[in-house]
Chains A and B, each alone.
Chain A
Amino acid sequence: MKGVPEALRNLRGETAYIDDLPEPRDLLHAAVQLSEGARGKILSIDPSRALALDPAVRVVTAHDVPGENQIGSAVPDEPLLPEGEWEYWGQPLVLCLAPTRQLAREAARLVTIVSETLRPVLDPREAAGQDAFVMPSRTQSMGNPGAAFAAAAFTAEGRVESGGQEHLYLETQGAYAERRDGDRVFVISSTQGTTIVQRAIARVLGLPQSGVEVEARRLGGGFGGKEDQATPWACLAALGAWVSGKPVKLYLDRATDMRATGKRHPYSTDFRIAADKDGRITAFEADYYQNSGSSCDLSPAIMSRTLFHAAGAYRIPNLRVTGRMCRTNLPSFTAFRGFGAPQGYFVIEAALDAISNRMGFDPVELRRRNLLSEGDVTHYGMPLKEVRAIEAFDRVLEKTGWKALRADIEAFNASHPLEKRGAAIIPNCFGVSFTKLPMNRGGALVHVHADGSVLVSTGAVEMGQQVSRKIARIAAKSLGVPLELIRVERTSSLTVANTVPTAASTGCDINGAAARVACLEIRDRLLAHAATLRASGPGLLSLEEGRLLEGSADTSMTWKQLVTSADESRVDLSAHGYWSTPGLFYDMKTERGSPFAYHVYGAALVEVRLDCLCGRVKVERATIVHDAGTSIDPVVDLCQVEGAFAQGLGWALLEELRFGADGRPMSDNLSTYKVPDVHFLPARLDIEFLSETGSPASVLNSKAIGEPPLIYGIAGYFALLEAIRAARGDRIESWDLPLVPEKVLGLLAGTGRVLGQKDLQ
């Protein structure tokens, strides 16, 4: 199967991202000065040196905000530009406008800000000790964990650390803004959510939302990093355009982007786990300390997903999990593919690792024994349907010849003193829907033109996940026309309003479903029209691949003829579609309900090879069995699994977000923050989709694909841990992700982590 048509333009170098758009002659470039210090107070701002650079330079501060100087979506704790205190190292303090980018950057550098530094808090546990939370803590529970621990044959406990992760979308954050007609603005934003940006700009400029037009073209990657975090840049560009009356472009260089924007939340977690003598998990408790960073952002929703995924793919009858969202002086941690679930997953997998060690039980067998099955009820009270955890796990065992592979690895390890292999298998059970219920809706606007061509606009933003290709397929299938007739347009507040961000893997589910609603409505109008033409019942007529059928017989009437005829007969060939995911409910008081439309299942094996001398690691292979439902586009889904796995593996073994003891960003460019390259990923990556059975509650029985496969990367962590154990000849425990070479060598040499984050300058 071929690639998607948008890819043609990408490969030809024709796709225009924000910084590639033609620039109007009077364009002003914008640049920001970032705070140098993790916490401080602005005493005065003197723009004179910047203004002296060039008469065209303009310095914009908080005082220039005509509306409310606030962009926090959940909690009003994010001023667009701070007036008093700033909260993290790298926070934008002032905006400068100038005719060239170079001049704007120079001006931003020259604004003199007199400030006072304040003592930052960086550690989430320290923040918790001071009751510094972005939102009150939250607990979910089931059964009676206390009694279960008391009665348990085996218990284990431990602490788990997982690090942050930089999105590293290849296109950095940016926005272009124009003031139009004096009283409205037009903004092109590299955002995953046009409405989020629209709402924030309206608030900042004191405009009605209808006066703010926002469009998102293709994004050069998002991964959650442009869900809430695109907002400040769009607002700053709009503010610049508003006060200057000229078009303004704000496009961040990589270092500014990496310093100023949010990343995946680091977590520090305490757990305990209990099992009976047969290796059945009887109880689990966890206290998650989420490092939420400087503002609330999406932290509560992310914690919500952590709690929902606390038990992973396992049946645990007694459970208590508590999430604390700790305010610190680091960049506001935010959405990143997986959205809190990977952090929860890593903890439960560490707990299973711990209890298998305590019992002397094979970790793979222990995991298998505790997998969810049909009819199990989650700790939040949701009965599970069409559960495929065991099926996927067993398929991985079968595909990899697990028993023989394990024996082979053991034999290899016994005969290679300086090299060890290790493998681990991780199951997956990932709930799909926004955990914030009101967000589970999609919108679409479909125009069928008189020539038969079809234009589909939805709330879904295209950022490389190829959602537009899937929506085109849904539209083609729903209308009964060839795919070539469908064009999916950019996302714009003019075509679809009140959208939700393209996130939570739901982009296709909800917007595809909305497009289908609109397409079916138009199709029905056309069939009714055809029925009058042919004096037939509409129920007898159908459209297939651009032909009108009566029963199963071709009527010789084409789609185009039908559309032209309908247009002349004044049939409305446009429709708005709206979708609200059915069956969702949740009671926050009792923490019970059915928050997900369905779950995605799967399992993965990762095998690594370890150089015991130097601590070098090579991921040798991965085998993934994944449940994509009835895939709308198997090629797109395959590539999504591959990409998500790569990011998960990067998070587990490579990508290390570092801050100094003073909160200084230390991994703020590509030479200090390493993401997977082509050598890092295994050449042997075998992905298989589970057979298309059942009927998931989503559009055309498909299943969401964006986030769930990221979980498989965690298998890389445990595979490496097994190799390290083989080298050491013991079952050392260390759950401190990412497991980078420095930690590996420390474990191999028996010293553990040589130096912690805090010891850095």
Chain B
Amino acid sequence: MKAAQSCTVFLLNGDSICTTAWPGTPLIDFLREEKGLTGTKEGCREGDCGACAVLVGEQVDIEGTLGSTARYRAHPSCLMRIGELENQHLITIEGLRQAAESSGLEEGLTPVMRALFDENASQCGFCSPGFVISLSAWLLEGSPLTPEAAVRAVEGNLCRCTGYSAIRRAAAILAREFSDLPADPVDRIRTLSAAGVIPISALRFATAALPRAPFTGTDTDKSVLQSISTGTDTKKWTFQPLSTGTVTEKLLQPLVLGGGTDLSVRQPHPEPGPAVFFTRLDRGLATISEKDGSVSIGAAVTIRDFFGSPLVRRSVPGIEAFEEGFASILIRNRATIAGNIVNASPVADMTSILLALDSTILVADASGTDTGRSMPLSSFFRGYKSIALEAGQIVTTLSFEALGSHERFHFAKLSKRERLDIAAVNSGIRIALEAGGRMVLSASISAGGVAAVPRLLPKASATLAGAPLSVETALAAAYAASAEIEPIGDVRGSAGYRRLALERLILSHFVSLFPELGEGIGAALEAQVGSR
């Protein structure tokens, strides 16, 4: 394993890379300082601006099938460490430029660059490479080519000059130009590389048979990527799955890293040294499965994959609607389920969702057996930024029971900016109705941003048990919630605001799940204003 730590092997644009740089090196520094690839810009170093976005291709399993396919997504390179790139294909703006040049496109512009250029969507230009990357990812991903999807694709990219209108117009051009992209991922990559949107190396990467374990940095490993970069045939590799069984060894690493979307913000310039265990490289930690109605989410499953999972969507109908309130697509591509939890932010959105779903958390212990220990997620948080995880332990799985036909789920948050903003307050609810749908059997309400930890609201939940489904019941739950919290004020909201916001979020659960209550709740609110 020593060799694996000493050399990270990946494909950078068209070149195979074998670097001995510390695996924890921020990718943006590696690109700009080590490789001189300065087209990737640093705007904030906290994943909030998208100026440093790059495309990362990996070979992944499609849920529920045995096959594997290549998948390219945009990531903020400031939050990513190079060790995570093992076995993957990194495309920077320079790689896209090469694609345009080798395709002989006019003025060396890829079709994405061309559309942005024709609509004058680049003014000061600092954000432009990031927008090119995100829109290229949009075409690569097979998302619908609608204005809405285009907007979503660039939601993690800030532009301070254009007001985004020109960027919207450019996206509309692309949607027309690529209206008939193939649905099959490899065919799509073939089409897009032929059109000069992405380099031809992407097609070679997508069709190469790669080892499923991290490279060990040997000559054989290098030759695979070399063959991709030169376009020669690759030999078949044997599938070598990793699993949580290997976790024990990994636990001894000083730094366990999921998506790094929080750690890299807190440590923007990490001191080189510690070995890093990238949970996302362990396929055993990145699976979603179901057994006897219980859904298990691997620690390294990303937020994007969680919401995109057909199994999750089946188990919690309607849950996909809450994805868009969670950070930006760039962050959702990186942030992991366990990362969101162990970061122990009092306002973590995914934590709030999982709390309301009454999830169980499974922790593996280096000194014990692989079965680990499990506890309700709600007892995992001990105090502000304090969790029930000792040194040498990692979270491996979150699990919850799929919703029954009589159950509903809702989640809502309030933040200053509607998207890509940390919540002031959030709340989830899992509610079970009796057969006729007129009475609440039980409910579980979570809240973030109202205490030192993300938490459940037992008193508010209890008011619902056995209560009729009515405006009065909703109001009672909201007021009970307000009475059982002690929020503090900070830059995201005053204590008073948070109390009021939680009341309103709980009412919004009812209005959203049971629209027939909307009018009554509206009338109750108007009466509130009138009474003052």
- B416→A740 contact, CB < 8 A: yes
Q: Which of A219, A253, A746 contacts B124 (CB 8 A)?
A: A219
- B504→A614 contact, CB < 8 A: yes
Complex: how many Å from CA A732 to CA B113? 48
Q: Is A568 an interface residue (CB 8 A)?
A: no
- A754→B122 contact, CB < 8 A: no
- B491→A728 contact, CB < 8 A: no
- Determine the chain A residues whose CB is within 8 A of the CB of B116 once the complex forms: 3, 7, 11
- A639→B109 contact, CB < 8 A: no
Q: Is B283 an interface residue (CB 8 A)?
A: no
- Determine the chain B residues whose CB is within 8 A of the CB of A118 once the complex forms: none
Q: Is B194 an interface residue (CB 8 A)?
A: no
- Determine the chain A residues whose CB is within 8 A of the CB of B100 once the complex forms: 12
- A671→B419 contact, CB < 8 A: no
- B416→A741 contact, CB < 8 A: yes
The chain B residue with its CB closest to the CB of A419 is: B522
Complex: how many Å from CA A678 to CA B168? 9
Tell whether A614 pairs with B508 under 8 Å between CB atoms, given A253-B45, A755-B494: yes
- B126→A170 contact, CB < 8 A: yes
- A729→B529 contact, CB < 8 A: yes
- B123→A464 contact, CB < 8 A: yes
Complex: how many Å from CA A636 to CA B328? 29
- B123→A465 contact, CB < 8 A: yes
Tell whether A678 pairs with B93 under 8 Å between CB atoms, given A3-B121, A464-B161, A616-B418: no
Q: Which of B158, B269, B417, B497 contacts A105 (CB 8 A)?
A: B269
Q: Which of B45, B151, B416, B496 contacts A754 (CB 8 A)?
A: B496
- A742→B504 contact, CB < 8 A: no
Chain A proximity of B169: nearest CB distance (Å)? 10
Chain A 458-475 residues near chain B, CB threshold 8 A: 463-466
Interface of A is mostly: loop
Q: Is B505 an interface residue (CB 8 A)?
A: yes
Q: How many residues of B contact A (CB 8 A)?
A: 97
Interface string of B358-387 (1 = CB under 8 A from A): 000000000000000000000000000000
Q: Is B184 an interface residue (CB 8 A)?
A: no
- B504→A254 contact, CB < 8 A: no
- Inter-chain CB contacts under 8 Å: number: 291
Among the 9-residue stretches A278-286, A351-359, A641-649, the one with 4 or more Cβ atoms under 8 Å from chain B is: A641-649
Complex: how many Å from CA A17 to CA B529? 53
Tell whether A11 pairs with B113 under 8 Å between CB atoms, given A674-B417, A740-B416: yes
Q: Is A9 an interface residue (CB 8 A)?
A: yes
- B490→A678 contact, CB < 8 A: no
- B528→A749 contact, CB < 8 A: yes
- B124→A464 contact, CB < 8 A: yes
Chain B 129-162 residues near chain A, CB threshold 8 A: 129, 132, 147, 151, 154-155, 157-162
- A253→B268 contact, CB < 8 A: yes
Chain B 451-483 residues near chain A, CB threshold 8 A: none
- Determine the chain B residues whose CB is within 8 A of the CB of A667 once the complex forms: 491
Q: Which of A16, A671, A729, A754 contacts B494 (CB 8 A)?
A: A754
Complex: how many Å from CA A676 to CA B158? 8
Complex: how many Å from CA A6 to CA B126? 12
- Determine the chain B residues whose CB is within 8 A of the CB of A556 once the complex forms: none
Q: How many residues of A contact B (CB 8 A)?
A: 93
- Determine the chain B residues whose CB is within 8 A of the CB of A22 once the complex forms: 36
Q: Is B18 an interface residue (CB 8 A)?
A: no
Chain B proximity of A723: nearest CB distance (Å)? 14
Complex: how many Å from CA A667 to CA B501? 21
Q: Is A389 an interface residue (CB 8 A)?
A: no
Chain B 182-229 residues near chain A, CB threshold 8 A: none
- A615→B414 contact, CB < 8 A: yes
Q: Which of B107, B108, B151, B162 contacts A639 (CB 8 A)?
A: B162
Complex: how many Å from CA A19 to CA B494? 39
Q: Is B74 an interface residue (CB 8 A)?
A: no
Chain A proximity of B117: nearest CB distance (Å)? 4
Q: Is A8 an interface residue (CB 8 A)?
A: yes
Q: Is A418 an interface residue (CB 8 A)?
A: yes
Chain B proximity of A757: nearest CB distance (Å)? 10
Tell whether A683 pairs with B168 under 8 Å between CB atoms, given A11-B132, A13-B94, A728-B529: yes
Q: Is B408 an interface residue (CB 8 A)?
A: no
Among the 9-residue stretches B46-54, B233-241, B274-282, B428-436, the one with 4 or more Cβ atoms under 8 Å from chain A is: B46-54
Chain B proximity of A747: nearest CB distance (Å)? 9
Q: Is B125 an interface residue (CB 8 A)?
A: yes
Complex: how many Å from CA A4 to CA B522? 51
- Determine the chain B residues whose CB is within 8 A of the CB of A552 once the complex forms: none
Tell whether A646 pairs with B497 under 8 Å between CB atoms, given A745-B504, A750-B529: no
Q: Is A520 an interface residue (CB 8 A)?
A: no
Q: Which of A11, A223, A618, A654 contacts B128 (CB 8 A)?
A: A11
- A221→B521 contact, CB < 8 A: no
24 A-B residue pairs with CB within 8 Å:
A2-B118, A3-B121, A7-B128, A11-B117, A11-B122, A20-B38, A170-B127, A219-B124, A253-B42, A417-B526, A465-B123, A612-B522, A613-B508, A615-B504, A639-B163, A642-B165, A666-B491, A669-B44, A677-B158, A678-B157, A679-B155, A741-B414, A755-B494, A755-B496
B interface residues, Cβ below 8 angstroms from A: 32, 36, 38-46, 48-49, 51, 92-94, 96-97, 100, 107-109, 113, 116-129, 132, 147, 151, 154-155, 157-168, 265, 268-269, 328, 412, 414-422, 424, 489-497, 500-501, 504-505, 507-508, 511, 518-519, 521-523, 525-526, 528-530, 532
Known: A3-B120, A741-B424. 17 other contacts (CB 8 A): A2-B120, A9-B125, A11-B129, A169-B126, A218-B124, A254-B44, A466-B120, A612-B525, A614-B412, A643-B162, A646-B162, A646-B164, A674-B416, A677-B155, A740-B416, A746-B497, A749-B500
- What 5 A-B pairs are tightest by C-beta distance, nearest first? A13-B39, A417-B522, A464-B124, A10-B125, A755-B494
